[in-house]
A and B are shown apart, each in its own frame.
Chain A
Amino acid sequence: MTELEKTPVRRAPRRERGGWASGFLGAVVEAWDELRIHKTRVLLSLIGVGVAVCALTSVVGIGAIAQQAQIEQLERGSGRPATLVLSPPYNPETGQQGDPAIMAEAAATVVERYAIGYAGSTQWMQLSAQFRDGVSLVDAQAVDVDYGVMHRVQVGQGRWFVDRDELRLAPAIVVSDQFWQRLGSPDLRTHPTIQLLGEDPVTAVVVGVLPVQPFDLSLRAYILNSAYASLATPEQIAQAWPQYEFWVPPDMATELTDLIRRDVAAACGEGWQVDVNRQDYLAWEGGEDPTASIRMVLAGIAVLILILGALGLVNISLVTVRQRIREIGIRRSFGATAPRVFFAVMMESVVATVVAGVAGVVVAVAIVQNPVVRDFVAFGLTDVPPFPVEAALLGLGAATAVGALAGLLPALVAVRVKVIDAIRY
């Protein structure tokens, strides 16, 4: 009984002041108790918010993954930011095309001078391949080893080219899934081979198979430039139209574009037109993110769901706060100040929606990280992004904001409760 006063001492009229920590904690404790006691109604009202937060977080999370998938797709086609492409020099007066040898040398000089880490030439051609059931034309692309990194090439089985492959007598090839099936789906560990017809027919070894692409029935193959050089006929070499790609830091892209153009033009001599262009996806539309519009739409839908959830919550909290007027009166008679009652009722909504938000985010993470969902959204992602933290934070932030907004109205009702009316019987 130490708290109780036994002697009639005069108390100095002191300023009434409550500890901030106990005031805040007390309101949270009170709110939590309130929620615990009304589990069912709270649970019901929170399903909406939880589902909305889950939807919002999933949409943002899946959006991020879909964006990554789209970026990878774009990068496979046109290279990672920033990819500069040097097209073969062209003489507008004679209509002639530049000498590939001069171009190769100029490109090598450029790579060395500007310390470009990844570069290579690429050209398209058709190869005749001798399958067991006959000869077929194959759409082939001659590339350098670096191409795999620069275009984020992904193989379904086997591997991409390595430097060692340049030295092989039997050239290595990476083929499409359809190509591999045509070979009879051999195990790559048995080093399956195929005859490529040309100047001198060679036997190529399949080292890698591209991932299955839906509806892709084409026979495609990658071959190293060095291997193609020994395979190609003189006519083919004469008609080759190789272009060089340089993967450079995006912030230096503009500068390097001009430097490479200048250097190669100098190497070619007077009268030649040299084109160097940036071709990766960020070069389009002034570097705008092409997935932005999709994400805007998805986020809009999620916000709509959230608003609906919040309205449901406001509705239920308003109804229940009216049922609790007596209880609020009792609390007031035991020293709860009006701001405290306001805060506690508000905290009820916030605590509840934060709990719902955490649940929603957890479910969203489970959904987004689910391999089935991942494969559906973005099949064959190489750089699988972790669950986007900003999506989780956004979900929690939205839950808290919704709780505060939904708690505002009932808190205003609660604070207007007249104590004497509330406890009159």
Chain B
Amino acid sequence: MSLLTLEAVTRSVALPDGARLDILKGIDLTVEVGDHVSIVGRSGSGKSTLLNILGLLDSPTSGRILVDDEPVERFSSRQRDRKRGRDIGFIFQQFNLLPGRTALENAMTPLLYASGRQFFSRASIAAEMLERVGLGHRMSSMPDKLSGGEQQRVAIARALVRGPRLILADEPTGALDIETGASVMELLDDVAEQSGAALITITHDANVAALARRHFRLDRGVLAPVDVNRALAMSESADRALALPSGESA
């Protein structure tokens, strides 16, 4: 059984001038429990669109999504929201912490939508998670008083408090310098590993992508597996950004 399966998923939008833009063109992807997947692609290639579909935030124009082998279209929107809250944790490039709330309150947010013990002991669960990401001493700090790396660690804690089975990270290191990005990524990789959650990372950074076990490339709405060794070799030559295969044009 797979945690998440995409079958011939497409996504197109109508542009204001009436034309149709096909962002995703027939994506097939299977994510197993505990999987670690990276997706690279140029800006505008449809990575965020794909991630929104993976996170049940958006629906495909055609094709099917199965969660635990169950088609998602069978869920009501409310069930989808609940499933997302329980099973999926998001990490965004811009951190997306709630302003004006402390690190602890931010980490607690998803638990407000849980029930039972998770809801009632949300403060201690969130505090424990902040300790794990090394921010036990900054719990009552506001996001604007935290560095980018610290903010992203709060976001990681927030994504993990409900113990999701799938973590979706959209360019988690995009707003961080290389070293900070590397340490944040290491942490994310670590906690995902420990909790047994599957991790899908979207990135520009080959070093970040290299942490994953399976590698994909999204190009003009088409998802294709990438040879790891080749990607790593390329990352060495191109250092940070994952170089595009020659002959590729914008």
Contact = CB atoms under 8 A, between A and B. Distances in A.
Interface of A: 1, 3-8, 10-11, 13, 15-16, 18-19, 21-23, 25-26, 29-30, 33, 37-38, 326-327, 330-340, 419-420, 423-425
A327 B119 CA distance: 20
Interface in B77-101: 77-79, 81-86, 89-90, 92-94, 96, 98-101
B8 to A, nearest CB: 21
A93 B47 CA distance: 113
B195 A4 contact: yes
A186 B55 CA distance: 92
Contacts of B160: 4
A26 B96 contact: no
A338 B57 contact: no
Interface in B196-215: 196-197
Nearest to B162: A3
B196 A25 contact: no
B116 A425 contact: no
Contact of A13 (B68, B99, B101): B68
Interface residues of B, number: 53
Given A338-B77, A339-B78, A30 B92 contact: no
Given A22-B116, A30-B112, A340-B113, A13 B70 contact: yes
B10 interface: no
Contacts of A19: 115-116, 119
A285 B55 CA distance: 72
Contacts of A8: 1, 3, 32-34, 196
Given A13-B68, A331-B109, 10 more contacts: A5-B163, A6-B196, A10-B1, A19-B119, A22-B120, A37-B101, A327-B98, A333-B55, A334-B109, A335-B113
A346 to B, nearest CB: 16
B114 interface: yes
Given A10-B1, A19-B115, A333 B57 contact: yes
A221 B119 CA distance: 75
Contacts of A331: 109, 113
Contacts of B150: none
Contact of A334 (B32, B34, B158, B195): B158
B48 interface: yes
Contacts of B218: none
Contacts, number: 121
State the 4 A-B residue pairs at the shortest beta-carbon distance, nearest first: A335-B85, A19-B115, A3-B163, A8-B33
B180 interface: no
A424 B120 CA distance: 32
Contacts of A30: 112
Given A327-B98, A419-B57, A337 B78 contact: yes
Contacts of B163: 1, 3-5
B247 to A, nearest CB: 31
A15 B83 CA distance: 10
A209 to B, nearest CB: 66
A274 B100 CA distance: 83
Given A37-B100, A334-B113, A5 B165 contact: yes
Contact of A335 (B84, B116, B120): B84
A338 B81 contact: yes
B90 A1 contact: no
B52 interface: yes
B143 interface: no
Contact of B105 (A33, A336, A419): A33
Nearest to B168: A333
A29 B114 CA distance: 13
B77 to A, nearest CB: 7
Nearest to A337: B81
Residue with the highest number of chain B CB atoms closer than 10 Å, among A22, A38, A336, A424 = A22
22 contacts: A1-B195, A6-B196, A8-B1, A15-B79, A19-B116, A19-B119, A22-B119, A37-B101, A327-B99, A330-B98, A332-B81, A333-B84, A334-B90, A334-B109, A335-B82, A335-B84, A335-B86, A338-B77, A423-B57, A423-B96, A424-B48, A425-B92
B194 interface: yes
Nearest to B98: A327
Contacts of B110: 334-335
A423 B110 CA distance: 16
Contact of B196 (A5, A33, A337, A338): A5
Contacts of A37: 100-101
Contacts of A334: 84-85, 89-90, 109-110, 113, 158
B12 interface: no
Contacts of A23: 115
B33 A330 contact: no
A23 B160 CA distance: 20
B125 interface: yes
Contacts of B118: 3
B81 A335 contact: yes
